[in-house]
Amino acid sequence: MSTFLFDDIIFGPVKSRRLGASLGINLLPVSGKFCNFNCIYCECGWSGESGQAARLPSREDIRIHLEQKLMQICEEGAPLDMITFAGNGEPTIHPEFPGIIDDTIEVRDRLVPSVKIAVLSNASRLDRPEIFESLGKIENNILKLDSAFEKTVVLINQPPAGYRVERVIEGMMRYKGRFILQTLFVKGEFDGELLDNSSEKEVAAWLEVVKKVNPEMVMIYTIARDTPIDTIRKIEPEILDAIAGEVLKLGIPVQVSY
């Protein structure tokens, strides 16, 4: 059972396997996961599992904590590559997300102008103009899509009612290549159904989506920490490498994390 939660608004810098020296921002409660997805592989566990009312940090608290931490990093001369919105769920569901992005850009430009900003998002809210525009302001707009098939996404990610893969793809296409596609590959069993989004059929359909949305980069990875269930497992490195090879054939850079 997974219990990996971020216990503060600002965490790190940590050495990220995908983003280098990364200072994390958690816009969500520290007591438990707060997300509109319920991914079966999530290291934070199940949504709403803590049983406590969600208490979100305010926009002002986030700005103050970020400014203080960046000033400390500057004084210490610590290496920093990225400011990353991740944390205990989906960052774009914070009601002040657009303003928080604006604040972060202002503080970054003033204190550490060479550092990039990243958001790890499940891409479920791209149909909201304010979310779409805010994600378009940052350098690393990292959007998740774990399958081209609706049925597989429902099984693996358990998205909210009304989620449609086609709508997510349309939102990604509106960025005209200025985003990073992120996909986690996993196999096993859940709710009595077998799953493997690294199968030949799954990968072929996913590659068609990659070709269609034409991201600036693709990040592929597999589970690395404990998961809420014990009936799923990692994808073998050689399979991830083979998938990466197919992406490279499309002329798109790819980053693989095992």
Mean pLDDT in residue range 158-179: 97
Distances (CA, A) of 221 to 159, 218, 240, 252: 20, 10, 7, 16
Tens digits of residue pLDDT in 14-69: 887 678 899 999 998 776 678 999 999 998 878 765 445 567 899 999 999 999 99
pLDDT for 49 equals: 56
143 CB-side CA count, 13 A? 32
CB 187 within 8 A of CB 202: no
Q: Is the pLDDT of residue 1 over 70?
A: no
What structural domains and CATH numbers belong to the chain? 10-257 (3.20.20.70)
User: How far apart are the C-alpha atoms of 178 and 205, rounded to whole Å?
Assistant: 22
Mean pLDDT in residue range 124-147: 98
- According to DSSP, residue 216 is labeled S
Tens digits of residue pLDDT in 69-126: 999 999 999 999 999 998 788 999 999 999 999 999 999 999 999 999 999 999 999 9
Categorize the per-residue pLDDT at 226 as very low, low, confident or very high, splitting at 50, 70 and 90. confident
Mean pLDDT in residue range 116-143: 97
Categorize the per-residue pLDDT at 4 as very low, low, confident or very high, splitting at 50, 70 and 90. very low
Mean pLDDT in residue range 203-214: 98
pLDDT for 257 equals: 93
Q: Which two tokens stand for residue 105?
A: 């850009």
Q: How many helices (H) and strands (E) does the chain have?
A: 7, 11
Q: Which residues contact 22 (CB under 8 A, 6 or more apart)?
A: 12, 13, 14, 15, 16, 80, 81, 82, 83, 84, 118
pLDDT for 97 equals: 97
Q: Which two tokens stand for residue 90?
A: 């989906």
